[in-house]
Amino acid sequence: MGKIYIRNLELACIIGCKPEERLKKRTVNINIELVTDLSKPARTDRIEDAVDYQRVADLVEQLVSGTEFNLLERLTEDICNKILNEFDVSSVRVCTGKPGALKQKCSVAVEMERSKKTV
């Protein structure tokens, strides 16, 4: 087993509960950790034997940019489930951050870990 990391994926979506947050897309920062068997692609050096992290990023981008969310929790859960359903990974950890979410201009983040057993 091994891990693949996709870090600092910046995407835009409508997210938030307040009416003013729903007027325009805002940037969310997404970090993804995939747990999968890396032994075959390490031996063969073939993308066909690996989890294609560009495809993962594209799938997440399609999900995020095409949907509206009230809560980071829902966004994070949807990303976890989509990855688990589409890719040969045993588990996924996703952390989504919303820069400037609080009046103090700081970022807020939600992290979830899901595995094939929990979907």
Is 119 within a domain?
no
Long-range contacts of 77-84 (CB under 8 A, 24+ apart): 77/112, 77/114, 79/30, 79/32, 80/112, 80/113, 80/114, 81/114, 81/119, 83/32, 83/34, 83/56, 83/59, 84/114, 84/115, 84/116, 84/119
Q: Give the global pTM.
A: 0.91
Structural domain contains residue 79 = yes
**The amino acid at 67:** T
Range of the domain at 96: 2-114
Each residue's pLDDT tens digit, 12-25: 999 999 898 899 99
pLDDT band, very low/low/confident/very high, at 28 (cuts 50, 70, 90)? very high
Report pLDDT for 118. Answer: 47
pLDDT, one tens digit per residue, over 62-113 is: 999 988 999 999 999 999 999 999 999 999 999 999 987 777 878 899 999 9
CATH of the domain at 78: 3.30.1130.10
Total domains present in the chain: 1
Q: Does any domain span residue 16?
A: yes
